Chains A and B, each alone.
Chain A
Amino acid sequence: MNAVLAAAPPEDLAAAPELPDILPPAKPRRGLAGFVRRHPAIAAGGTLVLVMLLIAVLAPYLGRVDPTAIAPGRRTRPPSAQFWFGSDMLGRDIYSRIVYGARVSLIVGFSVALLASFAGLVIGIVSGFVRWADPIVMRVMDGLMSIPPILLAVALMALTRGSVGNVILAITIAEVPRVSRLVRAVVLSLREQPYVDAAVAAGTRTPMIMLRHILPNTLSPLTVQATYICASAMIIEAILSFIGAGIPPTIPSWGNIMAEGRALWQVKPYIVFFPAIFLSLTVLAVNLLGDGLRDALDPRMAKEI
């Protein structure tokens, strides 16, 4: 048998003709150019986020004057060489205020994304593993989810003074239920995987299973979710500040600048529009990053949410 298989093909069998090169061989592009080509959303979003981060970090060098310096003699100047984005009704330089405002938006966005992901991860994993806790935890999360997030954050802010920390906490509480639900759904599907059964059969203890087998698999959908939470947190922060229930007016934030420009917006629209452009661009960048990460990391998981 083996001898037959090993025998050389009969010599009279015509060799296949050389095929013309219809398709050029795929040459995966390497380096930065290749990455940009494969993941345009991540590249574009990531670059914009980086630019905003740089603006926030370098604010003291980019700002032209003290963003809180009041100059009654130069109120509501239109954009000019001296005031790039104009000045507000207290004579403060809007450009400098926007540069510093980037700090607030990014700190709030990133902190909420981190805190909500962490809290949601813990709640979701516990709820997915501890059977008696699951119905209780999920009813509480359902209850919190049935309060619209902005309203929940607004109600929480009514309890405390406006400060950056309180804003972060209020938005985090409003975002946690969604993350816990996502993590729990992932955990429940992972629990049915053969490798978890194998770990159980091998006598691995539950905390170890959670840490070694479940946790790493929740990270990619969670990363995607965290970027969306970051974007949503920045919008909610701006809304809270805009309606006067967020960052205290002494700290320049994009929402605050818009809130201050509100009374004058029909005659001096630039006070509202410059911070609006920065806010929209930053949120757009983070959302693009999220979409790109979703497609790159795990297209199946993220689409369900």
Chain B
Amino acid sequence: MLGYIARRILATIPVMGVVAFFVFSLLYIAPGDPAAVIAGDQATPADVERIRQNLGLDRPFLVRFGEWTWHILQGDMGKSIFTALPVWTMIEQRIGPTVSLMVVTLLLAVTVAVPMGVVAAWKAGSWIDRVIMGFAVFGFSVPVFVVAYLLAYVFALELEWLPVQGYTPLAAGFWPWLENLILPSIALGCVYIALIARITRAAMLEVLSQDYIKTARAKGLAQTSILFVHALKNAAVPIVTVIGIGIALLIGGAVVTESVFVIPGLGRLTIDAILRRDYPVIQGVVLLFSFVYVLVNLVIDLLYTVLDPRIRY
């Protein structure tokens, strides 16, 4: 067991290595010379050359990659070309809203999607099942910003129930914080809910055909107890796996959602960095998101034995 955990953790190193290599190459092959940018308009070619040497930009690719990785491991992601602030500082300033948005979306999606999938599997073939699965297809097909605008139009502009846009930190109170996050979370959660509901239904259908479910029915257990205790527990592994994989959808969607609802998070930071070609910031954000994604899926992998004691390594 310990051996498995160690091996699984070690296996993430080459994966993160590939990510780091890709992210570093991004800056390496990016058009424009950072030395010339830093030197400014008035610089002579000699100045540019001096800065290039100071920065070590004249050294071979692999040497620079090694050094860059070493800095990253120490938490130094370099400085923004545009604001000259350390990338990590910029990320720290923007991470709060994004984490809030993701956590609220995650909680909302799981609490809505899992019961949806369970009911769809229980009533498989009925109209409830068709409606839920129909919704799942829609959830996959309607892009996140379309849902976002639709929700904002109906619930913020027309009904005026919720704020149109903006973000309030949690420190300013729970309700003001949540109020601003409800619409973005529903918009962002749509695809995610569709994905989880679909997998939950498939996993539950598989489990519900097992003999121990028949036994549970035969001994007169309540339907909810059969569904949510006996069946759902045994269907947990694929569901949790998809929740982990789906984080990628959340990360991509957050970039757009934050833009529609004017939330000053990492998504906004990414878009600004792209439009200004601020490569160190782009690198930092991509690296951070990928790291979180790999980490979440690692934890889920390690959770398998907890969720399903039959799984042994």
Residues of A participating in the B interface, judged by any CB pair closer than 8 Å: 139-140, 142-144, 146-152, 154-155, 157-160, 231, 235, 238-239, 242-245, 258, 262, 265-266, 269, 272-273, 276, 279-280, 283-284, 287-288, 291, 303
Contact = CB atoms under 8 A, between A and B. Distances in A.
Contacts of A283: 140-143
Interface of B: 14-19, 21-23, 26, 29-31, 137-138, 140-146, 149-150, 153, 157, 164, 202, 248-249, 251-253, 255-256, 259-260, 270-271, 273-275, 277, 279, 282, 285-286, 289-290, 293-294, 297
A231 to B, nearest CB: 7
A144 B255 CA distance: 19
Given A139-B18, A146-B290, A272-B149, A280 B30 contact: no
Top 7 closest pairs, chain A to chain B, by CB: A143-B18, A150-B252, A284-B141, A148-B248, A276-B146, A148-B251, A283-B141
Contacts of B143: 235, 238-239, 276, 279-280, 283
B255 A154 contact: yes
Contacts of A288: 137
Given A155-B286, A243-B274, A269-B149, A147 B142 contact: no
A158 B282 CA distance: 9
B259 A243 contact: yes
Q: Which of A242, A288, A303 has the largest number of chain B CB atoms within 10 A?
A: A242
Nearest to B260: A262
Nearest to B295: A146
B157 A158 contact: no
Nearest to B271: A243
The secondary structure that dominates the A interface is: helix
Given A159-B29, A266-B164, A288-B137, A144 B274 contact: no
6 contacts: A154-B255, A158-B26, A238-B145, A243-B274, A273-B150, A280-B142
A227 B29 CA distance: 32
